[in-house]
Amino acid sequence: MEVEFFWNSALTLILGIIGWFLKSWADELQRLQILLNRTREEVAKDYVTKAEVHADINRVITRLEALDTKIDRLMERVGK
């Protein structure tokens, strides 16, 4: 009876310690997951999407083409 009590106590203590470490580890993983998600959100705020880049480049190209047309007309006037 004494050996069973000692064995049960030892197993309970060992499993309790293992459980406590696993709980701490799970809590740390959850904390890191939250921090990773926040980091991803912050990084996404700093970068532009492909659609935004294409729209901006198209606006610049349109302006450059308009300037090119104006320069061509100016050169024709000066050449006459």
**Model pLDDT for residues 12-65, shown as the tens digit of each residue:** 999 999 999 999 999 999 999 999 999 888 877 778 889 999 999 999 999 999
* Domain total in the chain: 1
DSSP state at residue 47: S
Residue 65, domain member (yes or no): yes
Tell me which H or E stretch contains 1.
Answer: none
pLDDT of residue 45: 77
DSSP state at residue 55: H
Q: Please tell me the total number of residues recorded for the chain in this structure.
A: 80
pLDDT of residue 63: 97
Give Cα separations from 21 to 7, 10, 11, 39, 77 (angstroms).
21, 17, 15, 27, 84
DSSP E strands, 1-80: none
Distance between CA atoms of 41 and 38, rounded to whole angstroms?
5
SS3 call for 48 = coil
Residue 13, domain member (yes or no): no
Residue 3, domain member (yes or no): no
Residue 14, domain member (yes or no): no
Residue 16, domain member (yes or no): no
pLDDT of residue 49: 85
pLDDT of residue 41: 83
